[in-house]
């Protein structure tokens, strides 16, 4: 798989998670209707709300890139990324490597948290899917019972409507007019009950259909949540290799290999592309979903609207993945400032991760 295709495959699943969630919530009725329908089973509304808010927190966590852009050796140096620093400082003191190692450690820790969040989302989606099987079973039983009752009542109405001899028999016993009135009253009552039963059968059948559709969407949600864990896992591997390289560098020969700079740059632009995807597209879409479906805001993010926004996000991924050009160089630090930094760093590293 080409690098761009691999990157697309890594970033796209989280967009699909948001799109599937929007479609699922648009399929389901509102909170009051759901709570009325599921009186005999646990209402899934609250679990869906919890899942959506955890999803938002996960996407929010993605937009946090300060550590990989805060590799600097002097207060007068511009804040820059690890790859830019490594490209500029082809041969430098151990201070540069210690700064880079610090950034890599913090980066890896954040990736660990992101991975845990996506795993937790996949777990919550699986829990929702499993609970929904009970909802589907209950809806099917309700539809069968209601349909059977409607058919039975319709058959009774048909018998009363065509049995004119009932009127004659009652007429002989109660008088012709009074007997006819009794039969007409019973027939009207049966027709009313049959009509109500047919309406209930139609409602429960429709409910069974949409809960089955919702189950299919939950199956998809479980799958794409699992797929979304591929991005933090892949980046964990890349940053782990970077950490290992930095740890294994000979301090007496601190030259920076070009292929190592390229590896660091690839990890950085992949992470930053994901952060821009979250900030530019996903976070706002999930916020709108929460406002409408859970906070009762009037603006409606319809399933079509959510799908369009997610499609635009997917179409924007190739642009987000374009890496920035690595600079030819950045201002060099003076030998004096390097010595000062080495002294400061020696004091700092003793308590930085206490």
Confidence at residue 235, expressed as pLDDT on a 0 to 100 scale = 93
Per-residue pLDDT of the chain (354 residues; tens, 9 = 90+): 455 566 788 899 999 999 999 998 888 777 676 666 665 556 677 888 899 999 999 998 887 677 777 776 666 666 678 887 777 765 555 566 777 888 888 889 989 999 999 999 999 999 988 888 877 777 787 788 888 878 877 777 777 655 555 555 555 555 555 555 656 677 777 778 778 878 878 877 887 888 888 889 999 999 999 999 999 999 999 999 988 888 766 555 556 777 888 888 888 888 989 999 999 999 999 998 888 888 876 665 666 788 888 999 999 988 888 765 544 333 333 333 333 333 333 332 332 322
Distance between CA atoms of 259 and 152, rounded to whole angstroms? 78
Q: State the pTM of this model.
A: 0.75
CB count in 10 Å sphere of residue 121: 24
Confidence at residue 73, expressed as pLDDT on a 0 to 100 scale = 60
Q: Helix axis angle, 258-277 relative to 3-27, nearest 10°? A: 20
Closest CA to 122 of 246, 220, 3: 220
Q: What is the three-state SS of the chain?
A: CCHHHHHHHHHHHHHHHHHHHHHHHHHCCCHHHHHHHCCCCCCCHHHHHHHHHHHHHHHHHHCCCCHHHCCCCCCCCCCCCHHHHHHHCCCCCHHHHHHHHHHHHHHHHHHHHHHHHHHHHHHHHHHHHHHHHHHHHHHHHHHHHHHHHHHHHHHHHHHHHHCCHHHHHHHHHHCHHHHHHHHHHHHHHHHHHHHHHHHHHHHHHHHHHHHHHHHHHHHHHHHHHHHHCHHHHHHHHHHHHHHHHHHHCCCCCCCCCHHHHHHHHHHHHHHHHHHHHHHHHHHHHHHHHHHHHCCCCCCCCCHHHHHHHHHHHHHHHHHHCCCCCCCCCCCCCCHHHHHHHHHHHHHHCCCCCC
Distance between CA atoms of 113 and 232, rounded to whole angstroms? 9
Closest CA to 20 of 314, 292, 306, 294: 306
Confidence at residue 164, expressed as pLDDT on a 0 to 100 scale = 52
């Amino acid at each position: 798989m080409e690098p761009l295709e691999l990157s697309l495959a890594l970033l796209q699943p989280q967009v699909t998670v948001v799109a599937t969630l929007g479609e699922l919530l648009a399929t389901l009725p509102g909170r009051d209707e759901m709570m009325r329908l599921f009186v005999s089973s646990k209402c899934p509304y609250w679990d869906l709300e919890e899942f959506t808010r955890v999803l938002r927190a996960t996407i929010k966590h993605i937009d946090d890139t300060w550590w990989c852009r805060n590799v600097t050796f002097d207060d007068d140096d511009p804040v820059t990324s690890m790859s830019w620093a490594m490209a500029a400082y082809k041969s430098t003191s151990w201070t540069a490597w210690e700064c880079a190692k610090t950034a890599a450690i913090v980066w890896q820790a954040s990736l660990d948290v992101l991975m845990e969040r996506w795993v937790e989302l996949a777990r919550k989606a699986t829990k929702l899917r499993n609970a929904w099987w009970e909802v589907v079973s209950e809806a099917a039983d309700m539809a069968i019972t209601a349909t059977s009752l409607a058919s039975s009542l319709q058959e009774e109405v048909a018998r009363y409507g065509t049995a004119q001899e009932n009127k004659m028999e009652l007429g002989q016993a109660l008088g012709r007019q009074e007997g006819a009135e009794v039969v007409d009253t019973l027939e009207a009552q049966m027709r009313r009950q049959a009509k109500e039963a047919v309406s209930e059968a139609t409602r429960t059948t429709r409910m069974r259909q949409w809960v089955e559709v919702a189950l299919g969407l939950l199956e998809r949600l479980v799958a794409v949540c699992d797929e979304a864990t591929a991005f933090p896992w892949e980046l964990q591997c890349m940053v782990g290799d970077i950490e290992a390289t930095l740890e294994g560098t000979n301090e007496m020969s601190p030259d920076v290999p070009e292929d190592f700079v390229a590896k660091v740059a690839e990890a950085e632009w992949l992470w930053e592309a994901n952060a821009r995807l979250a900030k530019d597209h996903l976070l706002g879409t999930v916020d709108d979903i929460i406002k409408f479906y859970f906070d009762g805001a009037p603006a409606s993010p319809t399933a079509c609207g959510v799908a369009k926004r997610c499609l635009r996000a997917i179409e924007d991924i190739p642009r987000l993945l374009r890496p920035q050009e690595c600079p030819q160089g950045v201002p060099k630090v003076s030998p004096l400032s390097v010595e000062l930094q080495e002294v400061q760093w020696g004091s700092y590293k003793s308590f930085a991760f206490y």
